[in-house]
C-alpha cells in the first residue's frame, strides 16, 4: 500500500512506520534512542501509521507542513489551493529531497 505524507515523502520507506506496522518494539526502541537523542523518546513515541494518520512519530507532531495541511483540511499538500508553497519547498530543501520525486509521490497518492 502506498502511504504518502502530506509533503510527498513515502512513509512506507520510513523505519518508524515499518517497525510500527511490523509490531517490532525492539526496532522502535532502537529508533527512539537513535532519533530521540537527549529528548528521552520511548518506543511508544516512535509509533507511526503514516503522516496523514492520527498516530505519528513524536518528531512529526510538530512538522509545520503536516500541521499546515491538517489546518487547511487536506491530507496532501497537492490538494491545497496554495500548492506548492514556500513552507513545503523549504522542507524539501532542508531535507535535501528532490522536489520532482515528492511531486510524483503526491500525484500518485491523489
pLDDT tens-digit series, residues 32-66: 999 988 899 999 999 999 999 999 999 899 999 99
pTM: 0.86
What is the chain's alpha carbon radius of gyration, rounded to the nearest angstrom?
14
| Angle at the Cα of 17 from the Cα atoms of 75 and 70, rounded to 5 degrees | 20
Distance CA 6, CA 80 (A): 10
Give CA 38 to chain center in angstroms.
Answer: 21
pLDDT at 2 over 90: no
Q: Which residue's C-alpha cell is 513524536?
A: 58
Rounded Cα distance, 50 and 79, in Å: 17
Question: What span, in angstroms and rounded, lies between the C-alpha atoms of 19 and 27?
Answer: 6
Amino acid at each position: 500500500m502506498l502511504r504518502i505524507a502530506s509533503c510527498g515523502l513515502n512513509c512506507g520507506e520510513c523505519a518508524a512506520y515499518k517497525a510500527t506496522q511490523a509490531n517490532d518494539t525492539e526496532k522502535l526502541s532502537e529508533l527512539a534512542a537513535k532519533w530521540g537523542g537527549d529528548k528521552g523518546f520511548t518506543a511508544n513515541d516512535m509509533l507511526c501509521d503514516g503522516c496523514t494518520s492520527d498516530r505519528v512519530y513524536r518528531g512529526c507532531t510538530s512538522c509545520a507542513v503536516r500541521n499546515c495541511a491538517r489546518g487547511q483540511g487536506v491530507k496532501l499538500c497537492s490538494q491545497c489551493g496554495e500548492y506548492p508553497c514556500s513552507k513545503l519547498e523549504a522542507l524539501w530543501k532542508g531535507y535535501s529531497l528532490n522536489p520532482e520525486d515528492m511531486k510524483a509521490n503526491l500525484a500518485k497518492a491523489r
